[in-house]
Amino acid sequence: MAALDTALKDAMSIEGAIGVALVDYSSGMTLGIAGGSPELDLGMAAAGNTDVVRAKMRTLEMLKIEDSIEDILITLDTQYHLIRPLSSRAGKGLFIYLALNKTRANLGLARHQLRLIESSIEI
């Protein structure tokens, strides 16, 4: 779990990070959480975003699109929410959920850093 803790810590070092979670989208359970705020319950947000991931995967399946999801971006008035399904065999069924402060974050850089962090996660 040290690698997971390091990955979560690294994600929190992304400029503008509010919170991050590693989530199992089949159950909605979080495997790890870092950060958060009184306004953002990461456990609840992570569980709720499992529905987003499942819906998108079902849609791709119905459309017979063979691509995989790189990431899903939800843009709010004051925040970005990035959802990144893990592509490794060991990470199958998991996603990283990262909430960012919109005024402090560089979205392109955050996506790049999250991709690097994903590659370091060992489950």
Q: pLDDT tens, 25-61?
A: 989 899 999 998 888 999 999 999 999 999 999 999 9
Asked if residue 9 has pLDDT above 60, the reply is: yes
Instruction: Parse the chain into domains and list their residue ranges.
Output: 2-120
Asked if residue 13 has pLDDT above 60, the reply is: yes
For the chain, the first-to-last Cα distance in angstroms comes to 8
pTM of the model: 0.92
Residues in Cβ contact with 102 at an 8 Å cutoff, skipping those fewer than 6 apart = 16, 75, 76, 77, 78, 79, 80
Contact 87, 55 (CB under 8 A): no
Average pLDDT, the chain: 92
Going by pLDDT thresholds of 50, 70 and 90, the confidence category of residue 66 is very high
The CATH homologous superfamily of the domain defined by 2-120: Dynein light chain 2a, cytoplasmic (3.30.450.30)
Higher pLDDT, 46 or 88: 46
Asked if residue 121 has pLDDT above 90, the reply is: no
